[in-house]
Amino acid sequence: MNWAENHARKIIAKFPNQEEYVCASGITPSGFIHVGNFREYFTVEAVSNELKKLGKKVRHFHSWDNFDPLRKVPKNIPEERKDEFRNYIGMCITDVPDPFNKEKSYADHFMKKFENELKLIGCSAEFLNQEQIYRSCDYKDKIKIALNKKEEIKEIYNKFRKEPVGENWWPVTLWCEKCNKVTDIILNYDGNYTLEYKCKHCEHQGKIDFSNNGNVKLRWRVDWPMRWSYYNEHFEPSGKDHMSSGGSNDMAQILVKDIFDGHQTYAFMYEFIGIKGGGGKMSSSSGNIYTICDILKYYLPEIFRYLYASTKPSSPFDIQLDENIFQVYTKFYNLEKEYYDNDVTTTVENTNNNSKDTKTYEISNVWLPKTQPHQPRLQEFITLYQVLDKDTIGFYIKVNNITSEFDIKRINQIYNCAKNWLNDFAPEKYKLKDVNEYSKDIQNTIIEFMENNKEFSEDYQNKFYNFMKEKDINIKEAFKNFYILIFNKDKGPKLGNIIQFYGVNKILEIIKNKKN
């Protein structure tokens, strides 16, 4: 049983006979959303889909936690705007302009980019904009509960802290109506919906009625369990920093029950993801990140998904950008071949011995072609690209007689993956050198052969081989000189395929006109 199905069954066991199962993921768009952040989204999507396959009605929503302040100037914004952005520290990230001048706000830039990336890898979810929800005052009654139970919350908080929170601690922050920056200095609360506050940035004092002014927000450790209760959530995983013993998840499980009268969720930990060959642990604030699009420069979408589907969330893994990338492709292609060789079904009732691998493949390749897709090798395309350049795709499709729309799309994608990996990460041994020296005698012999064989046939390469052998020419040297004459490389695709694609006359013309 794949991990996603295993967790889906455990959720049903914990919450039997639910009309609808609510599964949630969430990310703060404080910078580029990297592939480590994506693990939370993917984990929830995979489990949600398994719940659906088990016949359950499921709501998977992804919260954009965009009602947070800008805490520091990000490293990966244009250098010329960093002084400007220092003025925005403390403002809500939805009120900060987009440093790249593409979207209406800083937060929107990263949200839109991630949402568009998800479409590329076959993902879909309901997106909740928490800034809009807060500012629409939808949470006003939950905020009121938290404020009236401030002392109870403090007592729970202090059980998880080495030092207790201060006398003036409140479970909310708010946005100053004068400078639009966040403050947590609460002067008075009327027990209903009105707060008096002081801004810690501009020292403005004012009042806010959060029943009609949505600029009050619960602190995130209170906000999190509040939303579990508000949305009747059943499942939301967390990173290891939140799931450690005595951490924020443990606190939230108490708060949701004791403060917000909700049920405790099903949760488990997902581990961090690293990059092998391109950096260590990722961090949006440090600028050391790889987005989904960054990885899709080197991986097919279904293989990108496979990296997550084939690894339990509780296990860390590295995305291979070094030579181990070839092993990842091979493992996926082997899984794909096994899937179609076994002629498995996609029904819930499927319980054959390969059910774990079957499920892993189905989670990975959500497009599920009816027949086994063609499996173009990344390493082959690295060579083809260097020899054929822009003709690579057309050449490969023709000589392999590719007609499937899925296969043609995959070939186009792997061509780009090969080109990008070669340019960005390939060691020198994968890079073909230009070779211009060739044997004039062999050139003339090749011309003689082709003059006598102007019609392509399936055995064209064998005819070439036998002709060179009859002329007592070293076969290896004959092929080597052929590639040098055509491509200025000492290796390339099969000679017969080259003739099939370009035609005898064109190749003959190139060879005749080649001069030392």
149-196, pLDDT tens digit by residue? 999 999 999 999 989 999 999 999 999 999 999 999 999 999 999 999
Span 32-82, pLDDT tens digits = 999 999 999 999 999 999 999 999 999 999 999 999 999 999 888 899 999
Q: Residue 253's pLDDT is what?
A: 97
Span 363-374, pLDDT tens digits = 999 999 999 999
Q: Residue 246's pLDDT is what?
A: 81
pLDDT of 235 strictly over 90: yes
pLDDT of 280 strictly over 70: no
Mean pLDDT, rounded, of the chain:
94
Residue 174 CA to residue 198 CA, distance in Å, equals 10
pLDDT of 212 strictly over 70: yes
Comparing CA positions, the residue from 313, 166, 315, 159 lying closest to residue 246 is: 159
Q: Residue 350's pLDDT is what?
A: 43
Of 92-96, 245-249, 500-504, give the lowest mean pLDDT range: 245-249
Comparing CA positions, the residue from 415, 413, 404, 416 lying closest to residue 372 is: 404
Higher-confidence position of 343 and 182:
182
Q: With respect to CATH, is domain 440-513 assigned 1.10.10.350?
A: yes
Residue 488 CA to residue 338 CA, distance in Å, equals 40
Residue 211 CA to residue 269 CA, distance in Å, equals 36
Residue 93 CA to residue 98 CA, distance in Å, equals 9
pLDDT of 86 strictly over 80: yes
Q: Residue 468's pLDDT is what?
A: 98
pLDDT of 281 strictly over 60: no
Q: Residue 353's pLDDT is what?
A: 43
Taking residues 22-30, what's their average pLDDT? 97
pLDDT of 298 strictly over 50: yes
Residue 368 CA to residue 370 CA, distance in Å, equals 6
Taking residues 244-271, what's their average pLDDT? 95
172-218: what fold? SH3 type barrels. (2.30.30)
Give yes or no for a contact between 468 and 475, defined as CB atoms under 8 angstroms apart: yes
Residue 314 CA to residue 168 CA, distance in Å, equals 39
- CA trace torsion 30, 228, 239, 57 (10° rounding): -100
Span 103-144, pLDDT tens digits = 999 999 999 999 999 999 999 889 999 999 999 999 999 999
Residue 10 CA to residue 5 CA, distance in Å, equals 9
pLDDT of 285 strictly over 80: no
SS3 158: helix
Which stretch of DSSP H or E encloses residue 271? Answer: none
Helix axes 495-502, 504-513, angle to 10 degrees: 100
Q: Residue 352's pLDDT is what?
A: 43
Higher-confidence position of 166 and 300:
300
User: Computed from CA positions of residues 38, 43, 44, 49, in that sequence, does the dihedral angle turn out positive or negative?
Assistant: positive
Q: Residue 283's pLDDT is what?
A: 52
Give yes or no for a contact between 224 and 253, defined as CB atoms under 8 angstroms apart: no
- Rounded to two decimals, the pTM is 0.93
Radius of gyration of the chain (CA): 30
pLDDT of 268 strictly over 90: yes
Taking residues 23-30, what's their average pLDDT? 96
Comparing CA positions, the residue from 360, 328, 327 lying closest to residue 344 is: 360
SS3 318: strand
Give yes or no for a contact between 479 and 495, defined as CB atoms under 8 angstroms apart: yes
Read off the tokens for 228. 């579990």
3-138+221-270: what fold? Rossmann fold (3.40.50)
pLDDT of 357 strictly over 80: yes
pLDDT of 503 strictly over 60: yes
Domain limits, the chain: 3-138+221-270, 172-218, 378-430, 440-513
